[in-house]
Amino acid sequence: MSIRYDQKARTYTLMTKNSAYQMKVTGFDYLLHLYYGERIPDTDLSYLLCPTDRGFSPNPNEAGNDRTFSLDVLPQEFSSDGSCDYRLSSIEVKNGDGSFAFVGKVRKHRIYRGKNKLEGLPCLRALEDDTVDSLDIWLTDAVTGLTVILSYSVFEEKDIITRSARVVNEGEDTVYLNRIMSMTIDFLDSDYDFIHLDGRHTMEREVTRAPLSYGIQTIGSFRGASSHQHNPFAILCDHTATEDYGRCYGFSFVYSGNFVCKAEKDQYDQTRVIMGIHPKHFSYQLKAGESFTAPEVVMAYSGQGLTRLSHLYHRIYRENLCQSPFVRKARPVVINSWEAAYFDFDDEKLLHIAREAVDMGVDTFVLDDGWFGSRDSDCSALGDWIVNPQKLKSGLEGLSQRIHELGLNFGLWIEPEMVSENSSLYRAHPDWCLQIPRRPAARGRYQLVLDLSRQDVCDYIVQSINEILDRTRIEYVKWDMNRFITDAWSAIAEKEKQGEIYHRYVLGLYHIMDRIILTHPDILFCGCSGGGGRFDPGMLYYQPEIWCSDNTDAVCRLKIQYGTSFAYPCSCVEAHVSVCPNHQTGRITPLETRGVVAMGGILGYELDSTQLSDGEKKLCRRQIESYKRWYGLIADGDYYRLTDPYRFGEYVAWQHVSQDKTRALLSLVVTEKESNNAQRYVRARGLDAKRFYHVSGFPEVFSGQLLMSAGLPVPGSLLQYEAIQYEIWSADTEKEEAPSGCATMP
């Protein structure tokens, strides 16, 4: 078992292959956190606690005259509110008597093989060959009967520990749960940097790294979705941590709605990190016997820097999260109609684009927004999922058939969670959207949000979308969500339950995804929210890939994909080649470079193929051929960041390395060119030092050690925004035929 309870010491020790985690039950039955870090022998680590009388840090009543026992100082596993701890609390309740206290004492525990599902929520699952053990610890408040069950699952080989919490009202009074964190973790020191991924629409997941300072550092979202602004992912690492050195802790929240992650450096230079549903506007009614399940946090520890931490997340999210069979299949190369036609198309125009795309070698034609109701702009028709016969004269089925006759698969855009005021749906059911009485709802992109906390609304969505999917031959669906939530009030919920709406919306979303996505395992669903506004593990449970950003500029994408790579594998990053000047930035970059950057994820195209020259189409075809040949490397290989675009401006480089280290693809884009530049070298990573490798464009054979230590010279002939790709293959394996023209070769 990877989880052990030592009855004498009253310690729980969780062991993964390379990490250990220990908790301890104190004399008064509080649960303390003793350690998370490098794997160490399973011994009682209580010696780390140095009881000290700390002035102005209160002592619980049962400690009697012992002034050294204070929950304001001791490291805790779950901080009980109102019981002497002034730091961030894990829970806030309003009890039947109006008090806010919750004092959770360990009542019992259970250790078992395997991992339970979380009710109504996405979470990791154990595969057949995974060794996964789980632990539940019951913390009960003796006065109110309220119980929090902390759950841990240990993925031993994969170096991952998951946490979640369930609150059960075992008392008689109704209580209100105003905050419940899925994870609280205390560190006895505070010499850490806090790294998080933040940004904005069209510039998501930029990397911010700063040392902790006294007080609280917060990231989060109360936009109703995980958001472009902050990703539900954070890292705590040594100040000295680099890509391959130092202690790093990752926290990733498997949830798609409001979230918060806070790191507090306290008065004694200790650190507390919490992660969970954002408490703003959250108040969950729990009557006697009722319970609430908080979503899962996936924790990882690496003692060898950030790359290893990323690899732990990449592996677990590739293998243990997504339910779709497509997660293990090679994904199609799509051409998407959005930047080619926006709302202005009919079936002939679409077929023309598709026909030309056949020459490029794409697999799937995706019809984006504008095909339904009176949708000629973004002002109308969301909710009316009926084809517009003026645009598509032979209907969706007819278009799909003609697309298939060209040898392409057919994909469709939907945005099921929304409604336009100018729509038949809104006119029939104005109460189906989130809206507060006497306060007309705020608009976002002219649209309102459907109330997914309502079963009848969910049923409508499921029925109308499934009807399209069942009637039409469709192989791919892009599921979009183009505004965030405001006015979170439901017309049918009682007033005491309005504080549940944000969360119930997310549960409703997962519920409709269960009924639409999981019932169509033959369709590849791809997520989107104005690009990466909902790029989170909750969505990746349903959709193996997500449109990474509405920004298709290759140079901006270098940063966006760099940041994304800290938590998410390339196999879930949708990246498309678009035209130049780029529609978002006006920048002009070579088509070769756009292809190289898009191959940092799941390659696709987002352009009007009828406007491409024959030469450009040929180039796209070669890009697609190369990409398909390298697909295994890109989707399943280990990803290495070779540069930090925030520190070094001249070029950005990255590398995909096969698991057996026999093949690699090193890609580089020049981002800032001056005249007569210094000679630069790019050093490979992740190769086998002892093995010998060929490198495309070089006659000699190099040892892995050499490629990783001395590196390769970056050709001085490369101009601004030009790219190069080096294919690297072990000297004792045969290289398949080399691609040509995909990127500049020296």
CB under 8 Å to 668, separation ≥6 — which residues?
642, 651, 652, 653, 682, 714, 723, 724, 725, 726
Instruction: List the strands of the sheet with 11-15, edge to edge.
Output: 3-6, 11-15, 19-25, 31-38
Q: Count the neighbouring beta carbons within 10 Å of the beta carbon of residue 612.
A: 20
Q: How is residue 456 annotated by DSSP? A: H
Q: Quick one: which of 493, 497, 482, 498 has its CA closest to 455?
A: 493
Q: Smallest distance from the beta carbon of 385 to ligand GLA, in angstroms?
A: 15
> From the list 85, 480, 574, 592, which residue makes contact with ligand GLA (rule: CB under 6 A)?
480
> From the list 368, 384, 421, 574, which residue makes contact with ligand GLA (rule: CB under 6 A)?
368
Nearer to ligand GLA, 606 or 727 (CB): 606
Q: How far is CA 610 from CA 358, 360, 400, 726, in A?
A: 11, 11, 19, 31
Nearer to ligand GLA, 75 or 530 (CB): 530
Verify binding: residue 258, ligand GLA, rule CB under 6 A.
no
Nearer to ligand GLA, 156 or 415 (CB): 415
Helix (H) or strand (E) holding 150: strand 146-155
What six digits make up the tokens of 507?
């549960």
Q: Quick one: which of 101, 132, 139 has its CA closest to 25?
A: 139
Beta partners for 251? 234, 299
> From the list 528, 603, 612, 664, which residue makes contact with ligand GLA (rule: CB under 6 A)?
528
Q: Smallest distance from the beta carbon of 576 to ligand GLA, in angstroms?
A: 9
Q: How far is CA 715 from CA 225, 596, 671, 682, 746, in A?
A: 44, 16, 14, 10, 7
Q: Smallest distance from the beta carbon of 437 to ligand GLA, in angstroms?
A: 30
Q: How is residue 436 annotated by DSSP? A: B
Q: Smallest distance from the beta carbon of 582 to ligand GLA, in angstroms?
A: 14
> From the list 184, 293, 482, 593, which residue makes contact with ligand GLA (rule: CB under 6 A)?
482
Verify binding: residue 550, ligand GLA, rule CB under 6 A.
yes
CB under 8 Å to 351, separation ≥6 — which residues?
399, 402, 403, 406
Q: What is the Rg, in whole angstroms, of the alpha carbon atoms belonging to the chain?
A: 27
Nearer to ligand GLA, 26 or 423 (CB): 423
Taking contact as CB under 6 A, which single stretch among the options 75-83, 421-429, 525-533, 565-573 is the one that binds ligand GLA?
525-533
For residue 543, the SS3 value is: coil
Catalytic residue among 85, 266, 369, 480: 480
Distance CA(211)–CA(62), nearest Å, equals: 37
Backbone phi, then psi, for 685, in 5-degree steps?
Answer: -140, 160
Q: Smallest distance from the beta carbon of 381 to ligand GLA, in angstroms?
A: 11
Nearer to ligand GLA, 104 or 530 (CB): 530
| Strand 105-113 relative to strand 215-221, pairing | unpaired
Q: Smallest distance from the beta carbon of 604 to ligand GLA, in angstroms?
A: 11
Nearer to ligand GLA, 356 or 378 (CB): 378
Taking contact as CB under 6 A, which single stretch among the options 62-70, 134-142, 298-306, 523-531 is the one that binds ligand GLA?
523-531
Nearer to ligand GLA, 332 or 533 (CB): 533
Nearer to ligand GLA, 180 or 341 (CB): 341
If you write DSSP's letter for every residue of 651-672 in order, what string do you get? EEEEEEE-TTSSEEEEEEEE--
Q: Smallest distance from the beta carbon of 564 to ligand GLA, in angstroms?
A: 15
Residue, CB closest to ligand GLA: 369
Distance CA(366)–CA(166), nearest Å, equals: 41
Is 97 annotated as catalytic? Answer: no
Q: Count the neighbouring beta carbons within 10 Å of the beta carbon of residue 403.
A: 26
Catalytic residue among 550, 553, 636, 638: 550
Q: Is-contact 428 399, C-beta < 8 A?
A: no
Task: Name residues contacting ligand GLA, limited to 402-441 (CB under 6 A).
Answer: 413
Whether the bond between 332 and the residue before it is cis, its omega within 30 degrees of 0, is no
Q: Smallest distance from the beta carbon of 563 to ligand GLA, in angstroms?
A: 18
Nearer to ligand GLA, 401 or 584 (CB): 584
Verify binding: residue 580, ligand GLA, rule CB under 6 A.
no
Q: Measured in whole angstroms, how far is the alpha carbon of residue 535 from the centre of its chain?
A: 5
Taking contact as CB under 6 A, which single stretch among the options 236-244, 344-352, 528-536, 615-623 is the one that binds ligand GLA?
528-536
Q: Is-contact 169 310, C-beta < 8 A?
A: no
Distance CA(723)–CA(594), nearest Å, equals: 9
Distance CA(91)–CA(81), nearest Å, equals: 6
Q: Smallest distance from the beta carbon of 606 to ligand GLA, in angstroms?
A: 8
Task: Name residues contacting ligand GLA, limited to 589-628 (CB under 6 A).
Answer: none
Q: How would you label 247-282 residue by residue, b for 16+ Cβ within 10 Å and e otherwise? A: bbbbbbbbbbbbbbbbbbbbeeebbbbbbbbbbebb
Q: Smallest distance from the beta carbon of 37 to ligand GLA, in angstroms?
A: 40
Using H for helix, E for strand and C for coil, what is the string for 158-174?
A: CCEEEEEEEEEECCCCC
Nearer to ligand GLA, 320 or 552 (CB): 552
Is 44 annotated as catalytic? Answer: no
Taking contact as CB under 6 A, which single stretch among the options 14-22, 269-277, 527-535, 562-570 is the one that binds ligand GLA?
527-535
Task: Name residues contacting ligand GLA, limited to 373-392 (CB under 6 A).
Answer: 378
Q: Smallest distance from the beta carbon of 339 to ligand GLA, in angstroms?
A: 8
Task: Name residues contacting ligand GLA, limited to 335-364 (CB under 6 A).
Answer: 338
Verify binding: residue 282, ligand GLA, rule CB under 6 A.
no
Q: Count the neighbouring beta carbons within 10 Å of the beta carbon of residue 361.
A: 17
Nearer to ligand GLA, 72 or 368 (CB): 368
| Strand 160-169 relative to strand 291-302, pairing | antiparallel
Nearer to ligand GLA, 177 or 353 (CB): 353
Nearer to ligand GLA, 366 or 652 (CB): 366
Q: How far is CA 683 from CA 53, 184, 329, 712, in A?
A: 53, 39, 31, 6
What six digits make up the tokens of 634?
């890109």
Q: How far is CA 632 from CA 264, 455, 626, 696, 727, in A?
A: 41, 41, 11, 18, 14
Distance CA(275)–CA(309), nearest Å, equals: 18
Q: Smallest distance from the beta carbon of 239 to ligand GLA, in angstroms?
A: 37
For residue 428, the SS3 value is: helix
> From the list 531, 537, 595, 604, which residue makes contact with ligand GLA (rule: CB under 6 A)?
531
Q: How far is CA 682 from CA 306, 432, 601, 710, 741, in A?
A: 19, 56, 21, 8, 21
Verify binding: residue 530, ligand GLA, rule CB under 6 A.
yes
**# residues near ligand GLA by CB under 6 A:** 12
Verify binding: residue 369, ligand GLA, rule CB under 6 A.
yes
Taking contact as CB under 6 A, which single stretch among the options 155-163, 207-215, 524-532, 727-735 is the one that binds ligand GLA?
524-532
Task: Name residues contacting ligand GLA, limited to 632-691 (CB under 6 A).
Answer: none
Q: Smallest distance from the beta carbon of 547 to ligand GLA, in angstroms?
A: 6
Task: List residues binding ligand GLA (CB under 6 A).
Answer: 338, 368-369, 378, 413, 480, 482, 528, 530-531, 547, 550
- Catalytic positions: 480, 550
